[in-house]
Every structure is written in structure tokens, then in C-alpha cells.
Amino acid sequence: AVLRLRTAEVAQVAVTDGTIAAAGADRLQVTVSAGSANAARSTLTVGRTALGAADTTLVSVTVRDADGNVLAGATAASFVASASIGTLGAWSCSAGTCSAVYTATAMGTASIAATVGGSSVGGSPASVTVSPGAPAQLAIGTSAATAASGAAFGTQPVIEVRDAAGYRTSSTIAVTLTASSGGTIVGTATVNAVNGYATFSGVGLSGLAGTYTLSYGAAGLTSVTQPITLTAGSAARFEVTGSASQ
């Protein structure tokens, strides 16, 4: 007969016909160790599956044999792990479970996977959704340019609404354009962002020729500025000075 022990442990084995109880001295002590790593019984777990920009979560791989016994001596070499749109830190292993920190580096859906012997472990791949954080600041996507007094800018400004980490949000907040002393905004100075973009149209600056500062602001957000050089506009009138002579 073949006796198979499936649980990693120190087992006591005795043979009896069922009518005679085996005494302690009649028992055989057997140490049962875990077998080889098995992909189907090993598992991948992810702490959080919804992250913000630059957020982190703990990723763990537990390595088991075909009978589900944990391989206590498992190391990072026992499996192969990968992650998209982010990075995995160094692995730390203890009692058959190896853990590493995943850091999101871009927006989208990250895929975190682990394999043993070329086959995916249980729970792999795991999906992690990375989304922007709350609106925190404005940034210039396209600077206003080509400014003649009283006329619309030749290049209209586009402002992005970003989170604290610098990723564009889907905010619809109102963004307002103002000018430094001596300059007056012409056209519609306030626009609502669409999917995080505040796109101005037909806006310009009026004032004496010179250099001005344009400021873009929104309630509760860090504003952003840009310099712009204003040139004289088209002639609106002619003025003759002096006295006429014959």
C-alpha cells in the first residue's frame, strides 16, 4: 500500500488492524514538507484596486504547492511579477508570502500579474484603476500669444485643471482671466472647463503697448500666470495737431 501525506507537518504514523490501539512506541514520526510551487494553488492579492495619482498599494504573492501547502521558504525567485502604468518595489518574503509596494505613475487601468512556472497564479492578473485626485491647481496648456491692443489674441489660451500631482482632472470649474495693472481683458474673460480643459475663445487685451502679466484663476485652486507683450492695435483715428498756414 502507498501512504500519501498531503499536509506539511510532523505526522505520527501507526499501523494497526483496528482492534489493537498502537502505543506511542509503535508510531513512526514523519516530517512532511511542502512540494514544488504550483501556479493554480498560489495566489496574488492587491490591497486596494482604486488609486489616485502617485498612490501606493500592497501587492502580495503567496506560494503554495499542489496540495495547498504554503512554501515557507518562498522567495522573490519563486515567481515572476509584473505591473503596467506603475512600478513594483523590492519584494519582502516571510512564511511563504512575498509583498511589494505598487506605485501608480499614470492614469488608467493597471494590470498586476504573477506567474509560477509560466502559468498565472490565482487572482492574476489583478486590475487597479488609477484616477486623478481632486482639482488643486491650474496649468497652462497653451499660452496666449500674438497680442495687439483691443484685438483677440492670435493664439487663444487653454488652461488645464490638474490635481496636486499634476494630472489633469475632469473638472468643470470656472476659470477667469485677468491682466496686470494698465491692461483690460476684452472678450469673455471667464469660461467653464470641459473635461479639465478651459478653452478661451475671442479673448484679448487692451492697453498701452508694453509687457503685461496674464493671470488665470479658479476658486480654491492655485492660479497660474504668463507674461505677454502687447503691441499697438490698428489705428482707430487720426489726430492732426498744430496750426494751418497758407
3-state secondary structure 172-201: CCEEEEEECCCCEEECCCEEECECCEEECC
| Confidence (pLDDT) at 20 | 56
DSSP-derived 3-state class of residue 90 = coil
pLDDT at 246: 54
What's 165's DSSP letter? T
**pTM for the predicted model, two decimal places:** 0.67
What pLDDT, on the 0 to 100 scale, is given for residue 221?
A: 98
Per-residue pLDDT at 27: 61
3-state SS of 53-64?
CCCEEEEEEECE
What pLDDT tens digit does each residue of the chain (246 aa) get? 444 444 554 445 455 555 656 555 556 555 456 589 999 999 999 999 999 878 999 999 999 999 999 999 999 999 999 999 999 999 999 999 999 999 998 899 999 999 999 999 999 999 999 999 999 999 999 999 999 999 999 999 999 999 998 999 999 999 999 999 999 999 999 999 999 999 999 999 999 999 999 999 999 999 999 999 999 976 555 555 666 555
Among 101, 159, 158, 106, CA closest to 132: 106
- Give me the pLDDT at residue 53, please: 79
Q: What is the per-residue pLDDT for 2?
A: 42
Q: Which residues contact 20 (CB under 8 A, 6 or more apart)?
A: none
> What pLDDT, on a 0 to 100 scale, did the predictor assign at position 225?
98
